[in-house]
Chain A
């Protein structure tokens, strides 16, 4: 193990290390702690210039209540869910198929198609902005959740295919061959043999895509506007304009907007990290 395990070091260093950790963590999360503190302060603290002192009163419920009941935030949150969940389902479905095709079969062009997916995924997506916006407008999908979902599915398919294909390729190939010998149809092999083995990959990818899509801002502002279709990342700016200079409410709003992916991460940590680090080890 590297670095040297702490239990094998001197007592003083062990104590220093144990003492150091919380301090480093505190510094690391300082900006976030600041915002969390803001979000429970009363507005009077801000008018009185008491930014960093203790809150004069505890206003968690007032502030967050305002976010949930006196703004468009719930609408934006619902939009985010309605955009994120279908995207996750669509992208994972499509890419388990493409991943299966590219991971199991040998055929001419396999590698070329695979690399096309990867290359498309690396592209700075701003280059797609003008044409994709145009396509959405022409299809009547501008400013709709559907328009955003379709694009996200397509774009995420690149990354997901890379992921799925590598995962499937690492599965024991003998299973598939054995099934073929049994005379099982190829689509049944996919459905009954490969898919069950892919459960960890499906879980990991779903969590990852959920986070990516929930956090998307660029496409949200390019393809939608207003509380009818915009997800919360874009909606937060209009929330902020409603409460400009009201730091306690803006802070509460951002925390609410950030919560679902954070919750997803802490609940599904194992899958999340497995997905993110696939390929970091050989």
Chain B
């Protein structure tokens, strides 16, 4: 997976320079029904999804499109239900291992032929993230960098600069804590945000390859190297770096700490930029840096999760669904929906262009030039779904009660032995 992803990002960088051909459906007018269930429930993505459905409907006036937007967090427990009973024609999900349970259960439609027949031009580079068992099970529609978003104005006030090493990061944090603020906003109510911290700390402490070994279940959770990652994490916890009561907040609720100036930075994906701007932060007040180095000898690995569309195997309007997948991945639609004033993320089509947006440009440059270790999807997408669920619960517990580490690691190790059979 690693090499494919690495290659894919590199190829994206290269291909984006060329302007590709625009392909979009076959100009054939569709009719009948198209039922979409989307999890793009946050305000900006919601607007994008509604716009997509509307535009697709205008192209095909005889097509009856039914769009249901469901809560993104709730969707994680609903999707299997939706795929098995009364399946819609198109659903949202995530790339890589997170597709595994549904691919194995035969609930996602195999669309390898679309990639082979050239129905999806410009997607060759990202094909890897959609591949399991040598076949492709959906299309990506966006991906985004993770990293440290911070309050530039607060940093200036305290005389801080963007850190490149963990020591600098901790030193910065100490100064922030001393000034009576918190270093990091985070909301772990829905658990996965803690996975981001673990991904980065583990990739920087032990390297991308080790991280992937852990994801594949090849390393014990009680391994000394894993403990080292947690020891580094604990430094931040012990110095009071995180906001209090983060287990009670969603990431959106925790954002307020940063916009209020109570916390200086936020390790999060680029999707957080839109709500930060909505909350009134100007681009002079926010900036971005790559997660600093811990072991300088390790090439950096980065999280760049890919969000996807799939056709359920039980869908009833598969032809219309396929046309919709072509539509959302076409170069100009990709350019449009990922621009700074829409999703504010990176397009997956090689022929699309990255919006001239401070954060998108930085992220794109980072992923194509400075992620030599490899590009990971995210904790809950790289680890098998069940391991991720048990794991993230443990990570959240660790962030609140770091003293429980031994117990947590034993529990995760038990789970590992049960889950990877």
Contact = CB atoms under 8 A, between A and B. Distances in A.
B73 interface: yes
A177 interface: no
A242 B41 contact: yes
A242 B46 contact: yes
A142 B86 contact: yes
Nearest to B249: A245
Interface in A126-173: 133, 136-137, 140, 142-144
A133 B82 CA distance: 12
Interface stretch (A1-9, A113-121, A233-241): A233-241
A221 B98 CA distance: 23
28 contacts: A47-B256, A47-B280, A133-B85, A137-B85, A140-B86, A142-B86, A144-B86, A225-B37, A225-B70, A225-B78, A226-B37, A227-B68, A227-B69, A228-B68, A237-B71, A238-B74, A240-B71, A241-B71, A241-B73, A242-B42, A242-B43, A242-B46, A242-B71, A243-B43, A244-B252, A244-B253, A245-B255, A245-B256
A124 interface: no
B260 A245 contact: no
Contacts of B41: 238, 241-242
Contacts of B84: 137
A240 B72 CA distance: 11
Interface in B247-264: 250, 252-253, 255-256, 259-260
B279 interface: yes
Interface residues of B, number: 28
Judged by DSSP, the binding face of A is loop
A143 B37 CA distance: 13
A244 B280 CA distance: 17
Interface string A167-186: 00000000000000000000
Interface in A20-79: 47, 49, 72
A240 B252 CA distance: 12
B81 interface: yes
Interface of A: 47, 49, 72, 133, 136-137, 140, 142-144, 225-228, 237-238, 240-245
Given A225-B78, A238-B41, A242-B46, A143 B85 contact: yes
A245 B81 contact: no
Given A241-B74, A243-B43, A245-B255, 9 more contacts: A47-B260, A47-B280, A143-B85, A225-B78, A227-B69, A237-B74, A238-B41, A238-B71, A241-B42
B81 A225 contact: yes
B250 A244 contact: yes
Contacts of A225: 37, 68, 70, 78, 81-82
A241 B256 contact: no
A142 B42 CA distance: 27
